[in-house]
Chain A
Amino acid sequence: MKFVSHFRKTTFAFAVAFLISLLALSLFGEKSVYGQNSAAPTPSPKVSPTPSPTPRPQQPSELQKALGEFRTQMNMLGGGTGSAKSTGKQNKLSGRIYENLRNDLFDAVPHEVRQRGGTKSLLRRNQYGFSVSGPVWVPKLFDGRGKTFFSVNFEATRERIAQSALFTVATDKQRLGDFSDLVDSAGQRIPIYDPLTTRPNPAYDPSQAVSATNPQYLRDPFPNNIIPANRLEPIAKSAVALYPRSNINVGPFLQNNYWVNSPFENRADGAIAKVDHQLTEKQQLGINFNLSRGLRKSPEYYPGPANAGAPSYNYENGSLSVQDVFTASPQTVWTFRAATAYGATTSVEQDAGQNYPQQLGLKGLFAGYFPRLTFSNGYLSIGPGTPVFRDRSYSHSGSLALSINRKAHTFQLSGLGRRSFVNSLSPSFPSGWFSFTGSATALPGVNNTGSAFASFLLGMVSRAEEGVVLHPSYYSKNFFDSTFSDQWRVRPGVSLFGSLSFEVATPRIEKYDRQSTVSLDHTNLANGKPGALIFAARNGIGRGLQPVTARIEPSVSVSVNPLNDRKTVMRASYSLSYEDYPLYGRHFGTQGFNATPVFVSANDQLRPAFLLRDGMPTNFAQPPFLDPTAVNGIEPDYIDRTGLLPTNQQWTFSIQRELPRALTLNVLYTGWRGAHELVDGFARLNMVPVSNLKYRDQLYDEAFRNSLRPFPQYRSFDMGGLYPVGALKGNSMSATIDQRLTGGLFGRFSYRLAKVLDNYSSGTPQDPDNRRLEWSLSTSDVTHSISASYTYELPFGRGKKFFADNLFVSRTLGGWNLSGLTSWRGGQPLILRPWFNRTGGVVGNLRVNVVPGVDPDVETQSPQQWFNVAAFAQPDDFTLGDGPRTHPQLRDPGAHVHHLSLTKRIELNADTSLEFVSEAFNFLNHANLNDPDTRIGPESSPNLNAGKIIGSTGGRVMQFGLRILF
């Protein structure tokens, strides 16, 4: 692991440099504090009072007396001469030692657990640490009092906690192939058909839509909806043996039948250390270091190697920075900063050495991890999604800034350079991802028939994918920025600030040039059409597949005291900024060097991609295969090469007004607009145009559907979440009232009104060629939100209104603080989806139809009826929905939380106190409702749950803390 070694070497180098600097400081630093600094105004105690004072004749002796006392006191404080420097508290150690404790014994049972019949939800948490700061002083070796200081924070957490989740799993009958209990969302039986009996329907009328009464193909249903035992795929049976059985019946109709409240562990240890040293009166050196390491043992959805949850992982991150500030003159300051940062996440491989595919009898796979098996009907998956990953990132940066004050201007000139690295060995689905749909056991083309789990038991794979990664990827990139700014006091009451940044961003490169992308400017040799795989640093292509970008970012703001009224400040600002190229891990954009073969059925309705018993096909181009046609027939990685990066504009206007009674009102308007936002599914390049929905069932023929794509040699493109076509726009108005401490009360109340629109926040568009239709409320839009924070110091004891003079009462009733936090968030827009999407794989996110004249709102909103389901309808097969992407009126229930804290401080002596903290999070034990079910079924089989809210979450959590402050 060269990069780890590199980071450690760098850290080691810094550490050595630090030690050397300390040594140097111990040798030379002492003299520099005053001796070498002519500007240091430290008159000698022997110097008589300054010659010029001419106090009033009757009083000189009193002023002289005071001056004498000044010198005496400074002698005592500084321990030396009357002018010497004293460091007071900074020469003492100060800090805190603390422990925070949480235990489910003190907590309310979370609502989501209680609703499932649980009486306890495990929580054991200890968080402890210390913080200390003071002078660096090693007797006889180094005396840094007054010039060298350290600060250390250490904290550790040990936590065991349960996380609950509700899933749907196959029923006991279904596990054995008996689907007699299989029903739809309306409780109607869903038949399953034998795929081996597929044959054309001689009575099929092509002039009519395919339906249960006019099927294009015929299949025989399994008698009694039971798959004969001898037809069950042995590999599937082996996997089912590791799959959990249902343990609850939340419903409706056997849905939500598996509940787990799984315990997991968190361990974290971290430290922050800082040292700063005053080299001279004008120069200060600071060194910061932090390191955090931990283990997150993820909750298991079920025990055993087939657990579908995320793997446990170790993490580590740290940074080291050095900063030197040189005050060349009272008007000129130089600041230099160098930093290095490191982060790593590594999955915990508990079953190393196992070969699960072999144990299951699954052939054709290269790795021994448990394969991923997923079901399109929403059943809980089998096998981990990402069984193994190793990602490490680190960066080095250096910056230099010069600030100069000249008359009415303060100029700043700064430069920054940063080099970032990401090293990754994280194959997606190294043991394969096998996807099962109900198509294999459905009556072809007829909704509400077939079962994905039945198809699985028959071993009929609808789609499969495998990640074959031969090498780790070593990515890096650079970023440079230089900024000039000026703060100009234009005239009394008016200040102007302007800045101009010039940024240069280089694209991602790979150490061994193992990068590739599909280029639409190159011709594919297989079909002569545009679109061929190109490789970095080969055939005239640059090492970075994207261009180097250079941008100018302006920013301007003005502040005004209207009518020279000090109590009112008006501010306005505008800024334009561009984002840097993101440096992402994993293996996106390395096809040819690695491979992600995808296998799909030629016609999903009629036959599987392959049978489980035949294993994962191996007839794909084995990497390395550096050929322009290497990704033909699969989903190629597409790296946008236009150099467009997210562009953000923001403008603000605010009025801040000082009010009576220590109140401040701040009203702020913010507007923002974003273009070229990086998106993934929203782009969906190479999708079949929706105008082809007219081909209806023909679209299920893979070859035919692919022939309709703009680049027919490929399936849809993987954009890696980096395609710059998203847009957003937002406006918000907030009003904040701050109450400064008055009568023991201190707090802030804030209200925000906002509207955010975008065209990408809900994933793949219904019509990728008409992005304008996607413009609607963002999924994160919240119209109203309120927050409040407050602290009330009980008016008893020292310095307070009552019992200030009584030591006993002061100690018992004094030092109590009550603090609270309250936040209320309005709902976010609902996304309504039809239950069935029969569009031949052309439309990713189908919308619902709106029923004209029916109000979607209900008179009285309740969990039983959150919205009027009758206002929406399932679109017909092969047609688009006419509803909005996100609904303009309907919103989820929102959420509100209230936290309370009670603190008691006990003074142990002048320098030490003890603090007891009792905190109640969600102290009202309020239950926030879950989101409503927004899936709209057809009239023939409606979703009886649509518009309803099932369950709620939340529960009071107590935390107790003890701190010693010194």
Chain B
Amino acid sequence: MKAIVTALALVVMLLTVATPALAQKEKADTTPKGLLKIPVWVEEGDDQFWLDGNRQAFKVFVEEKESPVKSFQTPKSSTILLIVFDTVADLARVDEARLALSEAIKTFGQNYWVGLLKAQDGLSVIQEPTADRALLAEKIHAVQVSGKAGLLDTLEQVSTLASGMMQKANVRVAVLYVTDSGIANYRADYLNPVVNSSDSGDLSRRFSDRAIQEQMSRQADALGEFTAPIFILHLSYRSDSMNLAYQSGLERIAAASGGLALFSRTNEDVEASLKSLLTRIQSSYFLGVDQPTAKRHAVKLRVEAKKADGQSPGKITHREQISLPKK
């Protein structure tokens, strides 16, 4: 046993020493430059959005102080949608998603470019953003169900990517994860597995889902400074307590970015959930305001919208705060 422990310790030490250099290489510049873009939705009813707003209809308040809208993009503006697949478990549900997605993108206007990525075993590009629907459909049908789950591991990268594109170009960018992963599909042991099964006095795993909750909380905090909205289509709702914590965390991550997570309970639910998310993605306004300069950890955001007649156009949803990048 001692030999095993020693060997494991040596491996860990070696890798600990070796890895920082490796990690440094991947650090991307996540500092947003220029305007702070805020995705906003105005909901008139269930999956019914107000699409006719103009710049004058919106007011943005940063820390309750109005900030002039300096850029404005509507549901008709050019858009890049990054679809990230994280499909590891359920062949049937993934096939439903593939079919529904390839059909749905045919309905997009030509101002929509769609990029395809894969999250399993690290982020990789399946197809750069393009408007070629036939090519996209072909690539979507070729998406595989394999590997280890990668949604949590790639969120920061994808947010960096999407937020960077939002800053550099005057386009709307949204991220849509299509995943069927459960928390057990990850390589890292978020389940805090029992190591010594004969240790009857172990109480440390009594709060079994806490490790997952903590992980999701950390993840949500880490995404606080990215501006791109994240949408998650989860193909397979699970009701055990561990996955409940995981799924709740996904909802939280999506909501914190201004996006939304939906979960399919049946095969038939996949298409409807996807449609709902895509409708929302297409219905966003992006309001650009000056980057807050206050020496704060985070700033609160509030958006007001009024029709020309002064009436409220509907329920406004947007992210409520954004973390400011550390100096």
Contact = CB atoms under 8 A, between A and B. Distances in A.
Interface of A: 39, 41-43, 49-56, 59, 62-63, 65-74, 76-77, 79, 82-95, 100, 102, 125, 127, 129-135, 137-139, 145-147, 149-155, 157, 159, 161, 266, 268-274, 276, 278, 281-282, 284, 290-294, 296, 315, 317, 325, 327, 330-331, 333, 403-405, 410, 487, 489, 492-495, 559, 561, 564, 566, 569, 656, 662, 664, 666, 736, 738, 740-741, 746, 748, 789, 791, 793, 798-799, 804-807, 810, 817, 819, 821, 899, 901, 903, 905, 907, 910, 913, 915, 919, 921, 957, 959, 961, 965
Contact of B147 (A49, A278, A331): A278
Given A266-B199, A791-B213, A899-B207, A53 B171 contact: no
Contact of B63 (A132, A741, A805, A901): A805
Given A41-B116, A330-B144, A333-B146, A153 B195 contact: yes
A151 B139 CA distance: 32
A132 B218 CA distance: 17
Interface stretch (B35-43, B240-248, B281-289): B240-248
Contact of B203 (A41, A284, A333, A959): A959
Contacts, number: 388
Contacts of A656: 239, 265
- Give the most central of A89, A90, A102, A154: most B CB within 10 Å: A89
Contact of B244 (A403, A738, A957): A738
Interface stretch (B21-29, B52-60, B307-315): B21-29
- Give the most central of B150, B193, B266: most A CB within 10 Å: B266
A84 B80 CA distance: 20
Given A54-B110, A282-B146, A569-B266, 10 more contacts: A39-B142, A41-B126, A59-B171, A89-B154, A145-B22, A272-B193, A284-B121, A404-B91, A487-B92, A493-B268
Contact of A149 (B26, B167, B187): B187
Contact of B127 (A41, A100, A146): A41
A153 B195 CA distance: 7
B33 to A, nearest CB: 12
B173 A66 contact: yes
Contacts of A315: 198
Contact of B78 (A59, A132, A327, A410): A59
A137 B19 CA distance: 8
A52 B265 contact: no
A331 B154 CA distance: 25
A904 to B, nearest CB: 11
A333 B29 CA distance: 38
B222 A910 contact: yes
B78 A63 contact: yes
8 contacts: A41-B139, A72-B164, A79-B25, A272-B189, A330-B143, A564-B268, A799-B298, A821-B206
Nearest to A326: B146
B130 A957 contact: no
B105 interface: no
B102 to A, nearest CB: 12
B195 A791 contact: no
Interface of B: 1, 4-5, 8, 11-12, 14-16, 18-19, 22-23, 25-26, 28-29, 63, 77-78, 80, 91-92, 95-96, 98, 110-111, 113, 115-116, 121-132, 134-135, 139, 141-148, 150, 152-154, 156-157, 160-161, 164-165, 167-171, 173, 187-189, 192-193, 195-204, 206-207, 209-210, 213-214, 217-218, 220-222, 224, 239, 241, 244-245, 247-249, 251-252, 256, 265-269, 272-273, 294, 296-300, 321, 323
Given A284-B147, A327-B145, A73 B160 contact: yes
A92 B167 CA distance: 27
A489 B268 contact: yes
Contacts of A134: 15, 19
B147 A919 contact: no
Given A56-B111, A276-B187, A915-B214, A748 B1 contact: no
A957 B168 CA distance: 56
A230 B126 CA distance: 96
B19 A93 contact: yes
Contact of A53 (B77, B98, B110): B110
Nearest to A71: B128
B119 to A, nearest CB: 9
Contacts of B197: 270, 292, 317
A740 B12 contact: no
A23 B130 CA distance: 40
A152 B207 contact: no
Given A66-B169, A495-B266, A87 B203 contact: no
B232 to A, nearest CB: 13
Contacts of A100: 203-204
A903 B217 CA distance: 12
B161 A74 contact: yes
Summarize A's interface: helix, strand, loop or mixed: strand
Contacts of A152: 8, 11-12
A113 B323 CA distance: 53
A791 B224 CA distance: 22
B5 A154 contact: yes
A159 B198 CA distance: 13
A127 B200 CA distance: 12
A522 B248 CA distance: 65
A561 B127 CA distance: 35
Contacts of A915: 214
Given A50-B132, A131-B189, A804 B297 contact: yes
B146 A88 contact: no
B122 A91 contact: yes
Contact of A282 (B125, B144, B218): B144
Given A50-B132, A145-B22, A905-B217, A133 B199 contact: no
B201 A278 contact: no
Nearest to B113: A63
A798 B153 contact: no
B89 to A, nearest CB: 10
Nearest to A487: B92
B245 A746 contact: yes
A129 B5 CA distance: 11
B142 to A, nearest CB: 5
Contacts of A666: 239
Given A62-B171, A330-B145, A91 B22 contact: yes
B251 to A, nearest CB: 6
B233 to A, nearest CB: 13
A131 B244 CA distance: 23
A405 B198 CA distance: 41
Nearest to A662: B251
Given A65-B169, A133-B187, A961 B218 contact: no
A54 B244 CA distance: 43
A161 B201 contact: yes
B218 A330 contact: no
A465 B95 CA distance: 66
Kindly list the 6 A-B residue pairs having the minimum CB-CB distance in the complex, ordered from nearest: A87-B122, A53-B131, A52-B132, A65-B169, A155-B195, A66-B169
Contacts of A317: 197-198
B239 A738 contact: yes
Contact of B207 (A88, A138, A821): A821
A903 B249 CA distance: 17
Contacts of A789: 209, 241
A405 B125 contact: no
A50 B92 contact: no
Contacts of A333: 91, 145-146
A159 B203 CA distance: 13
Contact of B195 (A53, A89, A272, A738): A272
A39 to B, nearest CB: 6
Contact of A271 (B5, B25, B189, B207): B5
B129 A91 contact: no
B30 to A, nearest CB: 10
B113 A817 contact: no
B220 A799 contact: yes
B169 A50 contact: no
